[in-house]
Structure 1
Amino acid sequence: MDKVQLFSFSVNIVILIAGHARGQGPQITLPGPSNTVLRGTYVTFNESEYLNVDITIEAFLGIPYAEPPVGDLRFRNPVKKGDLGMFYLADRDRSTCAQVNGGENEDCLYLGVHTSSPRPRNASVMVWLHGGAFTLGGGSWTAYDPYPLIAISPDLIVVNINYRLGVLGFLTTGDDASVGNFGMHDQVMALQWVQENIAAFGGDPRRVTIMGESAGAASVGLHLLSPLSQGLFRHAIMESGNALCPWAVDTNITRQVGFTKEIADRVNCSTTDNEDLVECLRNTDVIVLLRTQALLVGQNLFNELLFVPVVDGSFLPDIPIDMIKREEFHKVPTLLGTNEDEGTLIALRAYPIYLRRTDPPTMTIQEFRESLPNYLYYYTPMLASAVEQWYIDWSLADNSSADQLEAFVRLNTDQVFSCSTEIMARALEGSQAIVYRYEMTHDPSRSIWGDKPGWMRAGHGEEVQYVFGWGIKSRRNQPQTHEEKLMSIQVMQYWTNFIQNGDPNDPAPTNNLPFWPRYTIPDQEYKKLSLSMDNGRAMRMDSCSFWMNYAPTLYNQDSPEDMYQEWKQDYEHWRDVDMVEWNEVFNDYVNDCNAP
Structure 2
Amino acid sequence: MHIARFAFALFANKAAIVLANPIGPLTVHEFNTPAAQAGFCKGVGLPPLAHLDNATFSGVCSGQAARFLGIPYAQPPTCDRRLRLPVPLPPYEGYYDVHKFGPSCPQQRMILPTGLNTQLEKDISKIVATMYEDVTTDNEDCLTVNVFTPENATPTSKLPVLVWIFGGGFQIGGSANYDGGPVVARSVFIGKPVIFVSMNYRLLCTLFVALGFLPGKEVRAAKIGNLGLQDQRLAFKWVQRYITAFGGDPSKVTIWGESAGAISVALHMLVNNGDQAGLFRGAIMQSGGPIPVGDIDQASGQDVYDTFVKNAACDNSPDTLECLRSIPYSRFKYAMDLSPNFFAYQGLALAWLPRVDGVFLTEPPQHAVLRGHVANVPMITGMPLPHGSLFSLSSLNVSNTKGLENYMKAFMLPTATKAEIDLLLQYYPDDPKAGCPFDTGIRNILSVQFKRIAAIQGDIVFHGPRRFFLKYQSSKQNSWAFIHKRGKNSPFIGAAHATDLLNSFGDQELTDYFVYFAQNLNPNGDLEIPWPRYDVRNPTALVFQDSPFFPVITGADDYRIDPLNFVTNLSLLHPI
User: TM-score scaled to structure 1, two decimals?
Assistant: 0.75
- Check the 8 A contact 1:65/1:80 in 2, yes or no: yes
Quick check: 1:497 aligned with 2:516?
yes
CA distance in 2, matches of 1:249, 1:80: 29
- Higher RCO (Cα < 8 Å, 6 or more apart): 2
Q: 1:516 to 1:249 in 2, by over 3 A?
A: farther
Distance (Å, rounded) in 1 between the aligned partners of 2:399 and 2:222:
45
How high is the sequence identity, in percent, across the aligned residues?
Answer: 30
Match of 1:117 in 2: 151
Query: Quick check: 1:104–1:286 contact (8 Å CA) kept in 2?
Result: no
In the superposition, relative to structure 1, how do residues 425 and 290 fare at CA in structure 2: closer, same or farther (>3 Å)?
A: farther
Who is 1:165 aligned against? 203
Deviation at 1:262, TM superposition (A): 2.4
Whether the 8 Å contact between 2:295 and 2:357 is mirrored in structure 1 is: no
Aligned-partner residue type, residue 556 of structure 2 = R
CA distance 1:515–1:63, shift in 2 (3 Å): same
User: Which residue of structure 2 lines up, in the alignment, with residue 57 of structure 1?
Assistant: 65
Q: Kindly report which structure 2 residues correspond to 1:181-200, keeping only aligned pairs within 5 A, or say none.
A: 181-200=226-245
More helix as a share of residues = 1
Match of 1:434 among 460, 467, 478: 478
Match of 2:49 in 1: 27
Alpha-carbon distance in structure 2 between the residues aligned to 1:313 and 1:367: 36
Q: How far does the alpha carbon of each residue in 1:474-525 deviate from its partner, in whole angstroms, 9 at most, with x for none?
A: xxxxxxxxxxxxxxx22211121112212111x244xxx2111100121111
CA positional deviation for 1:181: 1.1
Number of positions where the alignment pairs a residue of Structure 1 with one of Structure 2 = 486
Which residue does the alignment assign to 1:457? 494
Q: Indicate yes or no: 2:260 matched with 1:238.
A: no
Q: Secondary structure at the match of 2:474?
A: helix
In the alignment, what sits opposite 1:69?
77
The one of 166, 170, 174 aligned to 1:138: 174
Give the match for residue 345 of structure 1.
390
Q: Aligned equivalents of 1:132 and 1:90: distance in 2?
A: 25
| Partner residue in 1 for 2:248 | 203
Deviation per CA, 1:555-595: give whole Å up to 9, x if none: 59xxxxxxxxxxxxxxxxxxxxxxxxxxxxxxxxxxxxxxx
- Aligned pair in 2 of structure 1 residues 9, 465: CA closer, same or farther (>3 Å)? closer
**Which residue, 142, 154, 160 being the options, matches 1:108?**
142
* 2: CA distance, partners of 1:370 / 1:259: 20
* Aligned position for 2:424: 387
Task: Give the CA deviation at 1:370.
Answer: 5.0
1:61-110 Cα deviation digits (max 9, x unpaired): 00000000000000110111124322111111111001112655110000
Name the CA distance, whole Å, in 2 between partners of 1:136 and 1:10: 34
Alignment of 1:242-321 (within 5 A): 242-243=289-290, 245-246=291-292, 252-271=297-316, 273=318, 276-297=319-340, 301-302=345-346, 303-321=348-366
Distance 1:196 1:349, change over 3 A: farther
Q: Does 124-133 or 166-175 show the bigger shift?
A: 166-175
Q: What is the aligned counterpart of 1:521 among 522, 525, 536?
A: 536
Q: Is the 8 A contact 1:392 1:404 kept in 2?
A: no
Q: What letter is aligned with 2:477?
A: A
For structure 1, which runs of at least 5 residues remain unmatched after alignment? 1-7, 45-55, 352-360, 448-453, 473-488, 557-596
Larger mean Cα displacement after TM superposition, 174-183 or 74-83: 174-183
> Corresponding residue for 1:572?
none
Give the deviation of 1:162 after TM superposition.
0.2
| Structure 2 residue identity aligned to 1:89 | D
One-letter code aligned to 2:288: G
Contact 2:170 2:203 in 1 (8 A): yes
CA distance in 2, matches of 1:209, 1:267: 40
Q: Which residue of 1 aligns with 2:487?
A: 443
Q: What is the aligned partner in structure 2 of residue 51 from structure 1?
A: none
Q: Corresponding residue for 1:91?
A: 99
Question: Does the Cα contact within 8 Å between 2:404 and 2:453 map onto a contact in 1?
Answer: yes
The answer (yes or no) to whether the contact 2:312–2:334 under 8 Å persists in 1 is: no
Quick one: which amino acid aligns to residue 112 of structure 1? N
Verify the 8 A CA contact 1:99 1:290 in the aligned structure 2.
no
How far residue 389 of structure 1 moved from its aligned partner, in angstroms, is 1.9
Distance (Å, rounded) in 2 between the aligned partners of 1:374 and 1:9 = 53
Larger Rg: 1
Please give the root-mean-square deviation of Cα atoms over the aligned residues, in Å.
3.2
Distance 2:56 2:168 in 1: 33
Aligned to 1:4: none
2: distance between equivalents of 1:242 and 1:313?
A: 20
Stretches of structure 2 that go unaligned for 5 or more consecutive residues are 1-20, 34-42, 110-131, 206-210, 435-441
- Alpha-carbon separation, structure 2, partners of 1:9 and 1:162: 22
